[in-house]
Amino acid sequence: MLHIILFGPPGSGKGTQASNLVECYGLAHISTGDLFRAETSARTPLGLQALEYMSKGQLVPDEVTINMLKKKLESMVNVKGVIYDGFPRTTAQAEALDKMLSEQNEQINALVALDVPDDEIVRRILKRGESSGRTDDGDESIIRKRMEEYRHKTSDVFDYYNSQSKAYKVNGMGSIDDIFIAMQNIIDPIAS
């Protein structure tokens, strides 16, 4: 199976490109946010475990998240691979993901990061905020804080996979098609 981590700050175009990757390569898109919502609303044992931490305002431990991912991967049939969106966010999570995959004789094939300048991210999210209804999409200081947090936490994950020669940056500026072609140039040799 192909395992691709899709990276990029909010507003970088991850959602659009994830859809293109799903369609082109027959991959499943796993968003940890969606995974948490599904597990907690179904009140599964893992969902209840997560709710216990979330109700106290605590972060859900990596072990619980990894177990949710493992359960999701085991439930998927007839997919050629997976795009991970929103995970891993820390080196500890990356190490846990690698360990879980290695137990299944699988591995991360690539981390693809969409590289977009901060001012462009701000412009995109402010524009999105005009129709999204999200108050945080209309406040530049909140947007910049989210970007700072993203860059602070995730740069280590990029470095972690870069040390394994698995991390790639794609220019996130330009047309959707041009960006997707750049991503295909990375993924095609890995997928074949």
Q: What is the CATH number of the domain that holds 124?
A: 3.40.50.300
83 lies in a domain?
yes
21 lies in a domain?
yes
110 lies in a domain?
yes
- Using 50, 70 and 90 to split pLDDT, how confident is the model at 59? confident
List residues bridging with 3 in a β-sheet.
Answer: 82
pLDDT in tens, 101-136: 999 999 999 999 999 999 999 999 999 888 888 788
**Domain residues for 123?**
2-185
192 lies in a domain?
no
The Cα 188–Cα 15 span in angstroms is 20
pLDDT in tens, 19-43: 999 999 999 999 888 898 899 999 9
Residue whose token pair is 């740069």: 155
pTM (2 d.p.) = 0.88
144 lies in a domain?
yes
Number of domains in the chain: 1
158 lies in a domain?
yes
* Residues 84 and 33 sit within 8 Å (Cβ to Cβ): no
Q: What are 21's two structure tokens? A: 């990757």
Mean pLDDT of 170-183: 96
pLDDT of 47 over the 90 cut: yes
What does DSSP assign to residue 109? -
190 lies in a domain?
no
The closest alpha carbon to 108, from 161, 35, 169, belongs to 161
What's the half-sphere exposure (Cβ side, CA atoms, 13 Å) at 176?
9
